[in-house]
Structure 1
């Protein structure tokens, strides 16, 4: 998982930040879907490995996007503070969800607990994918308007 997270950052570093966010969300959806399949329909170890690899790609691309946004939008004197805020905002939920899943597994069993984990995380990734995808479409429309308004307008009288 760590090697995939690191490798995907090197391999896809040239893409735009929005592409990193879209691919990160898509990898998270793929990971949770693969995890759910590995637990229910196709219980083979290879699917668990694939779920972990997709999760590594999602984490690596999400981290790359977050750090890139900090580097490009936060003044140098405030970057450490912004990085700390990113870590708090990312790692607290990342810790709380598995702990809550553990308690749920104790109460309901492995399959319902892991499926709930996959469902919550997959739903969050789908929402992120829709938000970033919508924002990307909006950005494309804005850029098209800017280009069309920049072109010379000729009026005949």
Structure 2
């Protein structure tokens, strides 16, 4: 599912050429994905805690198949928007319900392992998608059909896997749909996780939507393979830092996340200032590490203190808190890019996220004892 989420990224340059749309439209296409994801998070997390994991996961996989079918035949902005919307809805269910299903299968004695495996799968799949599609687009004149045919086949396999998962049905009292939240004892943990996860996700969102275009503006010529490698590097870094730091405490992971994000935005600011393509890749590495560490810290904190009966809802709350600012900042970046230049957009985003990272670091320091409890 996460391979699907970003497979279209290196292909947008081709769609822009064939269909014709602006950078602002491109960020709106990305934002529609976020809208679908957020809408799904508001429903899928609390719903799966009450009726079970499979009744939510299987419909989500079905929607992703429809999304693949639309991508295979997309010839308009409307089709791209619809495909991205359905992808967002599907991914939202996987983020909340799927990650909770991994925790359910792992059991109470392997909560940190469950958080590591589900969180790393999320970022690694997000990186493999654009790398795969970028390479295919580089070697094939018509990459759309092979890319999304492979993804469609993977999702069909997922149906079989989900069907075999040892997950029990559940029927709990309470409303089926409500705004996701966490118990009062976990509120500070949730806020700190969002304060680190959101800036990192905002940075990676920029690279997903406008990173290849920025690289093109600096170098004058970027292949789809290079664009895919840039996005893959971001998420490979997010994956690597999670395995490298898996034994660290959540508090230390939060500190690594905020420091990496801040350093990444400094590198991005510098890359644009001196027109260095190499530093863009360095920035992507740091920003990916920031998202990976913050994401792992957040899901680990929730896995450790939230009961299984509310875990999918808690995952939804964390994801909503991170994706809302990420979508907002992506839209701002797109508008600034259209109004001025993509370089100005990158500089503006860098300054904003460096300031946010500073406040997040202060919050971690103030509440560090609460995190360790």
TM-score between both structures, scaled by the size of structure 2: 0.36
- Residue 29 of structure 1 and its aligned partner are, at CA, apart by 0.5
Higher RCO, Cα 8 Å, sep 6+: 1
Gaps of at least 5 residues in structure 2 are 1-233
Measure, in 2, the Cα distance between the counterparts of 1:116 and 1:21: 24
Match of 1:23 in 2: 256
SS of 2:248's partner is coil
Q: Within 2, Cα distance between the matches of 1:117 and 1:96?
A: 11
Q: What's 2:328 paired with?
A: 96
Equivalent residue number for residue 146 of structure 1: none
Unaligned runs of at least 5 residues, structure 1: 144-157
1:45 aligns with 2:274: no
Which residue pairs with 1:62 in the alignment? 294
The total of aligned residue pairs comes to: 138
Q: How does 1:67-146 map to 2 (within 5 A)?
A: 67-136=299-368, 139=369
Find the counterpart in structure 2 of residue 9 from structure 1.
242
User: Deviations for 1:103-125, whole angstroms, at most 9, x for unmatched residues?
Assistant: 01211223322211111111111
**CA RMSD of the aligned region, Å?**
1.6
* Corresponding position of 2:202: none
Q: TM-score, normalised by structure 1?
A: 0.82
| Alpha-carbon distance in 2 for matches of 1:112, 1:7 | 30
CA offsets 1:24-46 (integer angstroms, 9 cap, x no match):
00001001000000011x32111
Using the alignment, how far apart are the partners of 1:3 and 1:108 within structure 2? 31
**Take 2:309 and 2:302, find their aligned partners in 1: how far apart are those partners?**
11
